[in-house]
Amino acid sequence: MRPTGRLHLGHLVGALENWVSLQDEYQNYHLIADYHALTTNPDTRGLYENSIELLIDWLAAGLDPARSPMFRQSQIKEHAELHLIFSMLITTARLERNPSLKEQVRDLELNSVVYGHLGYPVLQAADILLYKGDLVPVGEDQIPHVEISREIARRFNSQYAEVFPEPAGKVSKFPRLPGLDGKKMSKSLGNAILLSDGPDEVWARMRTAVTDPLKVRRNDPGRPDICLVFSYHQKFNPGELTEIRAGCESGSLGCVDCKKRCADRISETTAPLRERRAYFEQRRDAVKEILADGERRARGVAQSTMLEVHSAMALG
């Protein structure tokens, strides 16, 4: 994840729940993508503090640093070296066809694309393959990047020697939770509910959520299958779905009451995370040590992989 500060529900649904569940099955590596953050914003002020906030949210969500090293991309120099090598194995035309890049350019309303932004899937391939990743938990919008990583792994193995696996993508059950306005959830768009938001903040944000445009008054029948709030109920309030649907369709459940019930369930879901976050916020020195330890462990793996790369390429 890019270190943009505190995380929101979209991160929880699209990634964190998946990551936590996989800890019991796999050796996980969790990367704070501070180099990737520079592709759309070269300003590094606040980058370290945002990395700490991100790490606190990871810990609050249940990631275990004893099992899963957590580290900053910029502190493992092998990422940059492997990125350079991989950049020789893919064409610019292939990168320009990347649908995720086109989506980012559109969403961010960029007038031009820097070299690093065009090539960030190549750096992402280095992030994955440096640790010989077999499985990459991603949102559905990242699947094209995993395919680029697979292509680069095949090209390297064919050109030099069998060093890298071909990673597969694992999309979570709820791969993308839309923002409160129906667009992609983003803090910069002001349409997100943060994991750290308390009940009052969750309710204040949920009140702004868009609903069925044809359900104007309380007694108007609604269409839950096109309603954003109902999609939130599906994730955070599955036990009351039948009742919510019936009330919406009959008109007996007004949108304000529906939003309030959803906000309450979201707050209940995030309450344990907020409690753990408060614990780690009071122990920032320990959080920084968790980060330093993760970087030491990741660096050892990265250095070992690069020895294999150098040997395969007859470098050094």
Mean pLDDT of the region 53-81: 97
pLDDT at 152: 98
Using DSSP bridges, classify how beta strands 135-138 and 168-171 pair: parallel, antiparallel or unpaired. Answer: parallel
CA dist., res. 6 & res. 187, Å (int):
9
What is the average pLDDT score of the chain? 93
Is pLDDT at 219 greater than 90 in this prediction? no
As beta bridge partners, residue 8 has: 194
Give pLDDT tens digits for 138-173: 877 788 889 999 999 999 999 999 999 999 998 876
Measured in residues, the chain has a length of 316
Domains annotated for the chain, with CATH where assigned, are 9-177+284-313 (3.40.50.620), 196-277 (1.10.240.10)
Average pLDDT value for residue range 126-139: 92
The pLDDT value given to residue 43: 93
pLDDT confidence bin for 44, thresholds 50/70/90: very high
Lowest-confidence region among 106-110, 179-183, 292-296, 307-311 = 106-110
Residue range 193-208, pLDDT digits in tens: 999 999 999 999 999 9
The H-or-E segment that residue 56 falls in is helix 47-61
Spatial separation of the C-alpha atoms in residues 103 and 186, rounded to whole Å: 14
Q: Do residues 15 and 62 make contact, with C-beta atoms less than 8 angstroms apart?
A: no
The pLDDT value given to residue 244? 95
210 in Cβ contact with 180 (< 8 Å): yes
User: In 3D, which of 211, 232, 209 has the Cα closest to residue 222?
Assistant: 211
Q: In this predicted model, which residue has the larger pLDDT, 141 or 45?
A: 45
Burial code of 290-311, b = ≥16 C-beta within 10 A, e = fewer? bbeebbebbbebbeebbeebee
Burial class of 251 by CB neighbour count within 10 A (0 to 12, 13 to 18, 19+):
middle
What is d(CA 149, CA 108) in angstroms, rounded to the nearest whole number?
24
Residue 175: predicted pLDDT: 67
Residue 174 pLDDT greater than 70, yes or no? no
Q: In this predicted model, which residue has the larger pLDDT, 75 or 189?
A: 75
The whole-number average pLDDT for the span 227-244 is 95
Tell me: the pLDDT tens digits for 21-33? 999 999 999 999 9
What average pLDDT score do residues 270-282 get?
A: 97
Q: Report how far residue 16's alpha carbon sits from residue 30's, in angstroms, rounded to the nearest whole number.
A: 11
pLDDT score for 106: 81
Give the pLDDT band of residue 6 (cuts 50, 70, 90). very high
Nearest to 270 by CA among 203, 215, 188: 203
Q: In the chain, what percentage of residues exceed pLDDT 90?
A: 82
pLDDT band with cut points at 50, 70 and 90 for residue 103? confident
CA angle 151, 156, 161 (to 5 degrees): 135
Which pTM does this prediction carry?
0.91
Residue 188: pLDDT band (50, 70, 90) is confident
The confidence score (pLDDT) of residue 218 equals 81
Instruction: State the DSSP H helix or E strand holding residue 77, giving kind and residue range, or none if neither.
Output: none
Helices 255-281 and 284-313: crossing angle in degrees, nearest 10, is: 80
Is the pLDDT at 57 greater than 90? The verdict is yes
Counting residues of the chain whose pLDDT is more than 70, the rounded percentage is: 99
* Nearest residue to 64 (alpha-carbon basis) of 27, 32, 99: 27
Question: Rounded distance, CA 282 to CA 128, Å?
Answer: 32
At 101, is the pLDDT very low, low, confident or very high (cuts 50, 70, 90)?
A: confident
Amino acid residing at 167: P
